[in-house]
Structure 1
Amino acid sequence: MTTPTSRRVGRPRVQERPASGLEPRDEVLAAAAELFTVRGYTATSTRTIAERAGLRQASLYHYFDGKEAILAELLEGTVRPSLEVARHLVSEAEATPEARLWALCHSDAALLCGGPHNLGALYLLPEVRTDHFAGFHRIRAELKRCYAELLAATEPGAALDADDLALRTDLLFGLTESVILIRRADPARDQRALATATADAALRVAGVPQRSLARLRREGQRLLAADG
């Protein structure tokens, strides 16, 4: 006579995944990040995500109300950490605004370069334009305003009128996010070198002279090291 095995507490799983240490909700996000970036968003179903996470499809809906909610959470996760850094740097009055801008661009680019999957590439999905992603767009717009505030505080930025400041901010923000396309074209590119080159280029777009870059880079690196 066999002894009944003890039952595991929690929602049933379809299959066992390698021990990841992740909670089921995080397993869903990790599975979706891989599938969305490798197979494509439209080609990935909630059933496929659930199976990859080791859950039943019905259990996935305990954590998310659908595929759009999963994508929204992933996208917001690519912006929230940068926004936290940006808020701190905006309020950091002891450092020069040029160094703070360098630090923000570097931190933001490093985040977009980091992680196992190039989630920033999902920004370009047509589905992201819908109202379901309003939270992502709101957070991203606040991050962009921090770029504008730091740019306006620099010596070159102070000389810009409102239209020029808006245009220069668009260029800075677009330059930082361009690492998404570079990473997609060359996944093996050194992430730290790319983030540093992006931050250097951002200051040049802001109007900072080349002769000041090395000093501001060192100051920006100290800011990031202190926050780390």
Structure 2
Amino acid sequence: MGTTGGTAESGRRVGRPRADRRPASGLAPRDELLVAAAELFTSLGYAATSTRAVAERAGMRQASMYHYVSGKEELLAELLESTVTPSLAYARELLADDRVPAESRLWELCRADVEVLCGGTHNLGGLYLLPEVRAERFAGFHAVRAELKDAYRQLIAATVAGGALAKSELDLRTDLLFGLIEGVILVHRSDPERPVSAFAEATADAALRIVGVRDRHPAGS
């Protein structure tokens, strides 16, 4: 007699197949979910991505996902913060290093920030453009982003050109410079084959022009 209905050939796993499951990565389950969410949010769109799709892409059941995260919003919040916290940490280092001219430190922060925003496997900077990001749930991201913007303001004020600006003008230049940095997300999206380093250096050069700095290595520095 053959085997009864619920059995299968030796060694075969019984159960619902996982659609588009990636090979085992060795990542912790929460990190697997973040990687899956980054891939799906940037390729399909946040609104079009279901929690089930994220779970299956990470190789787990939807119910299991909730052991690690509360849902899509938590994943999006963490991905957003991951685009800001490295730049903020670097900005703090640069602010503390007054041995280097402020012009050079400002240029370096601009360059590094664009590398973070546009680098990586997925264009996470593009998530800034989501209307959902304006919600209160993402207050943590906005707080970190505001601190980074203030670090830019302090570096601008420390330059020779920035130090001569009135407060209202300093605020305006900071807004323009910060807008330029984040605006590179759109330019990079339209020209993804161009090296991120090229965007980063050109943007840093343009940022100094906004401040009124002609040379990131001032004479006598």
What letter matches 1:127 in structure 2?
A: E
- TM-score (ref. length: structure 2): 0.88
1:154-173 to structure 2, matched below 5 A, reads: 154-173=159-178
Within 5 Å, which residues of 2 pair with 1:99-178? 99-178=104-183
Aligned AA (1:180):
I
Structure 2 letter corresponding to 1:97: A
On the 8 A contact 1:14/1:56 being kept in 2, the answer is: no
User: Could you tell me which of 184, 196, 200 is aligned with 2:201?
Assistant: 196
Query: Is the Cα–Cα contact under 8 Å of residues 188 and 199 in structure 2 kept in the other structure?
Result: no
Any idea what the Cα deviations from partners look like across 1:56-95, whole Å, max 9, x if unmatched? 1111111111111110000000000000000110111100
Q: Is the CA contact 1:102–1:203 (under 8 Å) kept in the aligned structure 2?
A: yes
Which residue matches 2:23?
18
Note closer, same or farther for the CA distance 1:157–1:202 as it changes in structure 2 (3 Å cut): same
Q: Quick one: distance in 2 between partners of 1:81 and 1:50? A: 27
> Paired residue for 1:78?
83
Q: Distance in 2 between matches of 1:32 and 1:20?
A: 15
User: For 1:187, what is the secondary structure of its paired residue?
Assistant: coil
| TM superposition shift of 1:19 | 2.5
Normalised by the length of structure 1, the TM-score is 0.85
The superposition leaves residues 101-120 of structure 1 with CA deviations (integer Å, 9 ceiling, x where unpaired) of 00100010111110111111
Alignment check: 8 A CA contact 1:151 1:206 kept: yes
Query: Sequence identity of aligned pairs in percent?
Result: 61
Hey, what does 2:51 align to over in structure 1?
46
- The aligned amino acid for 2:176 is L
Which SS does the other structure have where 2:188 is aligned? helix
More helix by share: 1
Contact 1:13 1:55 in 2 (8 A): no
Matched residue type, 2:34: L
After TM superposition, the runs of 4+ consecutive aligned structure 1 residues lying more than 6 A away are none
Shift of 1:14: 6.2
Contact 1:113 / 1:191 at 8 angstroms: preserved in 2? Answer: yes
> Given the alignment of the two structures, is residue 69 of structure 1 paired with residue 70 of structure 2, yes or no?
no
CA contact (8 A) 1:76 1:139 kept: yes
* Number of equivalenced pairs: 205
Cα shift readout 1:9-45 (whole Å, capped 9, x = no counterpart): xxx9964631322111111001101111110100001
Structure 2 alignment gaps of length 5 or more: 1-9
**What is the SS of the residue equivalent to 1:54?**
coil
Task: String of CA shifts for 1:147-178, please: whole Å, max 9, x gaps.
Answer: 00000010110111111001100111111112
Q: Contact between 1:14 and 1:55, CA under 8 Å: does it hold in 2?
A: no
Q: Kindly report the root-mean-square deviation, in angstroms, between the aligned alpha carbons of the 2 structures.
A: 1.9
